[in-house]
C-alpha cells in the first residue's frame, strides 16, 4: 500500500496560490522599478532644462522663449509630482502583495507540516504492520518445529 495524503489537492491549491502571489509581488516590484527609472529620467530632464534656462538667460533670450521654457519646466514638475504619487501607491501595493504572499506561504507550510506528520504516522503504522507480519511468520515457523 502506497502513501497518499488525503489533503493533497488542498496542498496543491495552496502551492498554486503561493506561486500566484509570488508572481504578483514580482510584477508590482517590476512596475515600481520602472516608475523609479522614469522619475530619475524626469528629474534629470528637469535639471537639464534648469541649466538650459540659466544659460539662455545669460545669453539673452526672448520673453516668449522664457515663457515656453518655464511652462515646460512647470510641466516637468507636475509630472514628477504625479510620478512620486504613483511610486508611493506602488510601494503600498507592494507591501500588501508581500503580506498576501507571506500569508499564502504560511498556509502552504501548515499543510506541508500536516503532510509530514501524516506521513510519519503512516510510516509508524507500516512498521507496526510489518513487525506484526514478521512475528506471525516467526510464530508460525516455531510451531512447525
| Domain hosting residue 96, numbered range | 8-144
Q: Is the pLDDT reported for residue 1 higher than 70?
A: no
pLDDT digits (tens, 9 = 90+) for 32-75: 999 999 999 999 999 999 999 999 888 888 889 989 999 999 99
* Residue 37 domain-assigned (yes or no): yes
CATH number for position 137: 1.10.287.1700
Q: What integer pLDDT is reported at residue 135 of this predicted model?
A: 84
Whether residue 1 lies inside any domain: the answer is no
Q: Is the pTM of this model over 0.85?
A: no
Has residue 136 been placed in a domain?
yes
State the SS3 of 5-38. Answer: CCCHHHHHHHHHHHHHHHHHHHHHHHHHHHHHHH
Tell me, what's the pLDDT at 103? 97
Residue 2 lies in a domain: no
Q: In this structure, is residue 98 part of a structural domain? A: yes
Structurally, how many domains does the chain consist of? 1
Residue 128 cell numbers, joined: 507496526
Amino acid at each position: 500500500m502506497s502513501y497518499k495524503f488525503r489533503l493533497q489537492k488542498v496542498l496543491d491549491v495552496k502551492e498554486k496560490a503561493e506561486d500566484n502571489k509570488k508572481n504578483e509581488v514580482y510584477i508590482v516590484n517590476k512596475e515600481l522599478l520602472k516608475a523609479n527609472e522614469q522619475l530619475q529620467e524626469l528629474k534629470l530632464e528637469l535639471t537639464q532644462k534648469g541649466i538650459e534656462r540659466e544659460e539662455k538667460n545669460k545669453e539673452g533670450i526672448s520673453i516668449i522663449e522664457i515663457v515656453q521654457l518655464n511652462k515646460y519646466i512647470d510641466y516637468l514638475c507636475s509630472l514628477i509630482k504625479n510620478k512620486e504619487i504613483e511610486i508611493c501607491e506602488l510601494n503600498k501595493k507592494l507591501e500588501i502583495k508581500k503580506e498576501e504572499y507571506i500569508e499564502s506561504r504560511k498556509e502552504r507550510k501548515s499543510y506541508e507540516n500536516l503532510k509530514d506528520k501524516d506521513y510519519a504516522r503512516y510510516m509508524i503504522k507500516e512498521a507496526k504492520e510489518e513487525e506484526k507480519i514478521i512475528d506471525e511468520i516467526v510464530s508460525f515457523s516455531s510451531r512447525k518445529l
